[in-house]
Structure 1
Amino acid sequence: MTILQTPETRFANLPGYPFAPNYVSVGDGAYPRQLRMHYVDEGPRDSTETVLMLHGEPTWSYLYRNMIPMVAGAGYRVIAPDLIGFGKSDKLLEQDAYSYQSHIDWLTMFIKTLDLQHITLVCQDWGGLLGLRLAAENSDRFVRITASNTGLPTGDQPPSEAFLQWQAFSQTIASLPIGSLIRMGCVTKLPADVIAAYDAPFPDETYKAASRIFPKLVPTSPDDPAAPANRAAWQVLMQWQKPFLTCFSDRDPITAGGDRVLQKLIPGAQGQSHVTLSPGGHFVQEDKGEEWAERVVRFIRENPVNIV
C-alpha cells in the first residue's frame, strides 16, 4: 500500500478557508501504519453540542467553508473532517485499498479518538452514505441528524439512471475533472479560484483513487458487500426517535425524492420543519450553504436534548 500526502503548498491562500489544520491518526491492523486524517475544529471546544459535517465525493471540508463559521458562531463546536483520500488527509494510491467498510472504520476511529459526544450530524452525498451508517452503529454518540442530497442504499432497489450514467462516466474518463464536476453540480456560478480549491488536493491522477472508486462502492445489487451492514443500519434508523431533518435541494437528479423516503421511514423525521432548498444543485453547500447553516442552528435550538 502506497500512502500519498498532498503538499501543503497546494492549500495556500484558499478563498474563504482560513481554518487551522488539525490531524488525528486512524487505521487498523490491515495497514502498515496509521493514516493521517485532517479535520477542521471551530467554535468553543468546551461546547456540550458538537456538529459533525461530513462531505462526500469528490469534495472535502472546503465544501462547508460557508457553513462552519455560522454554526460555530452560534456557540457550537463544529468538526469537519476530510475523508481518507480527500482534502488534506492521507491518500492511498491503490483503488482496492478503499472499501465502504474501510471508510466506516476510519470514521468510527475518528469520532472515538476525539471522543465526540452529543453529535448533530450534517451530511450530504457520501457524507450521508457513511454518516447514516456511522450514526446507526454509534447511536449513543448522536442526538440529531440533518441530511441533504443523500441516502443509505442497500442494493435492494435499482439505482436511478442518472446515477448509473455518473458511475459509468467516473470509471471511463481518462482524467477525472474534480473542480469541473463540482461546478457542474451547482446552480450558482463558481469563481475560478473556488474551482481551483476543489482541485487543490489532487496534484495529478495518482491522488484520485478514492474519488475514482467511490461511485463503484455504492451498493447497486442485493449481494453487494456493503448491503448487509446497510440493511442493519436501516433497522436502527427505522426505530430512530431522535430529531431528523431533511434539507434536500430542488435540482439534483441523482437524489431527487430521497428526502421523502427518509421522512417516511425514520420516525424522528415526523413533525420536523423539512425544507427544500431552492435553487440548489447537488452540492447544496455551494448554492444554499448559508440557508442550510441557519436551518441547522434552528434545528438544534428547536430540538433541545438533556445532556447529563
Structure 2
Amino acid sequence: MTILRTDAARFEGLPDYGFAPHYLTVDGLRMHFVDEGPRDGPVVLLLHGEPTWSYLYRHFIPPLADASCRVIAPDLIGFGKSDKPADRAAYSYAGHVAWLSAFIMALDLRGITVFLQDWGGLLGLRVVAEMPDRFARIMAGNTTLPTGDGAPSEAFLQWQAFSQSSPDFPIGRIVHKGTARGLTEAEQAAYDAPFPDEAYKAGARAFPALVPTTPDDPARADQLAAWAVLREWNKPFLCCFSDKDLILGGLDKPFLKHIPGTRGQAHFTTQNAAHFLQEDAADQLVPALLRFMETGQATTE
C-alpha cells in the first residue's frame, strides 16, 4: 500500500496555526495531533470532518488552553499532517473508527469533552458508543449518525456525486463555500496545504461515498449498535447546529428526540453560520463549550 506524507514545508507560516506538531502511530500510519494546554487539565477533543483538518479549530485551541483545558485536535488519517494512503479502497467507515479509537487509547484519554462536526460526529459518536466510560460530555454541531433509513437530501447527493466524479477536488474552495463569512485566500491555501496534488486526496474523496444512505449499507449494523448505546446516554449532550447549513441543517432532531442526555440542555442555534461553524461562529461556540464544561449546560446569554 502506497502511503503519502505531505512535506512539512507546506505547513510553514499558516495563518493562526503555530501549534507544535505531535505524532503517534496507529496501524502502521503516522497520525498528527495538536496537544495544547496543561497535561493534567480536563480533556477537550476536537474532531474535524470532511475535507478539513485540525486547522479548522485554530480559533478554538488557544482560548480553551488558556482556560486550563488540555486541547487535543487530531488530523484523521488521510487529512492534515497525518499519513495518507493513496488507494481510496484503503479507507472504510470501520477503519476510520478503529484508527480514532486506537488514537484515544494510545493517549489514554479520559473524562473527555468532545466537540463533533461533520464526519467528526459520524466517527466520534461511534467511538463514544464503543468506549462510553472515557467520555464525560458531547457537544455536537452540524453532524449526524445515519443508518441508511430515509432518503438523503438532494444537496447531499449532489455533493456526493461531485466528490466522486469531479476531475478537480479543490479543498480550500470547498471549505470556503461551506462558510457564511467566506475565507481569505491565505485560509483557503491552508486547507489546501495537506494536498499537494490529487493523489493525496484519496481519503477526502472517499468520505462522502462512505456515508450510509441505504438500508443495505455495510455500516448499518454498527450504526444501529451505536444508536442503541446513545439511546441510553444520560451524560450531557448539547446541540449547536447552524442557521445556514444547507447539508445537515435540522439533523439535530434525532439527537434531541432519542438521546436522554439532551434533555434539559440549553441547545442553541449558531447564528450567521454555515456548515463549517467553527469558521463562522468560534466566538459563540468556545464560550458555550466552556460553560457547558463548568455547568453541564450552555447558554448564549
TM-score category, normalised to shorter length: over 0.9
Aligned pairs, number: 297
Once the 2 structures are TM-superposed, how far is the Cα of residue 44 of structure 1 from its aligned partner? Answer: 0.6
1:71 and 1:263 map into 2 onto residues whose CA distance is 26
Q: CA offset at residue 290 of structure 1?
A: 2.4
1:207-232 C-alpha deviation (Å, 9 max, x unpaired): 00001110000000111111100100
- Aligned counterpart for 1:233 among listed residues 221, 226, 231: 226
Whole-Å Cα distance in 1 between the matches of residues 69 and 262 of structure 2?
22
For 1:84-99, list aligned pairs within 5 A. 84-99=77-92
What is the aligned partner in structure 1 of residue 31 from structure 2?
A: 37
CA deviations 1:58-95 (Å, max 9, x no partner) are 00000000011111111111100000000000000000
- After TM superposition, the structure 1 = structure 2 runs for residues 113-192 of structure 1, keeping only pairs within 5 Å, are 113-192=106-185
Q: Deviations over 1:87-114 (max 9, x none)?
A: 0000000000000001000001000000
Partner of 2:211: 218
1:101 & 1:221 partners in 2: Cα distance? 17
* Residue 158 of structure 1: how far off its partner (Å): 1.6
Report whether the alignment pairs 1:71 with 2:64: yes
1:9-40 CA-to-partner distances (Å, cap 9, x unmatched) read 0000000001000001001xxxxxx1000000
Q: Distance in 2 between matches of 1:264 and 1:293?
A: 25
Give the TM-score normalised by the residue count of structure 1: 0.95
Query: Per the alignment, in what secondary structure is the counterpart of residue 25 of structure 2?
Result: strand
Q: What residue identity is the alignment partner of 1:38?
A: H
| 1:219-275 deviation per Cα after TM superposition (whole angstroms, max 9, x unaligned) | 001111111001000000011000000011101111111112211111000000111
The answer for the alignment partner of 2:20 in structure 1 is 20
Q: TM-score, normalised by structure 2?
A: 0.97
Residue number in structure 2 paired with 1:4: 4
RMSD: 0.9
Alignment partner, residue 102 of structure 1: 95
Task: Among all aligned residue pairs of Structure 1 and Structure 2, give the percentage whose two residues are the same amino acid.
Answer: 59
Q: Any conservation in 2 of the 1:70–1:290 contact (CA below 8 Å)?
A: no
| Unaligned stretches of 5+ residues in structure 1 | 28-33
> In the alignment, what sits opposite 1:205?
198
Q: Could you tell me how far 1:189 is from its partner in structure 2?
A: 2.2
Cα distance in 1 for partners of 2:55, 2:156 equals 24
Letter paired with 2:253: R
Letter in 2 for 1:153: P
For the Cα contact (< 8 Å) 1:71–1:78, is it kept in 2? yes
How far apart, in 2, do the equivalents of 1:44 and 1:180 lie? 35
* Cα drift, residue 141 of structure 1: 0.3
Which residue of structure 2 aligns with residue 30 of structure 1? none
User: Which SS does the other structure have where 1:258 is aligned?
Assistant: coil
- Equivalent position amino acid for 1:25 in 2: T
- In structure 1, what is the equivalent of residue 47 of structure 2? 54
Tell whether the 8 Å contact from 1:61 to 1:87 is kept in structure 2 after alignment: yes
Q: Which sections of structure 2, spanning at least 5 residues, go unmatched?
A: none
Q: Which amino acid letter does the alignment assign opposite residue 191 of structure 1?
A: T
- State the one-letter code of the partner of 1:42: E
Map Cα deviations across residues 125-161 of structure 1 (whole Å, 9 max, x no partner). Answer: 0000000111111101001000000010010222111
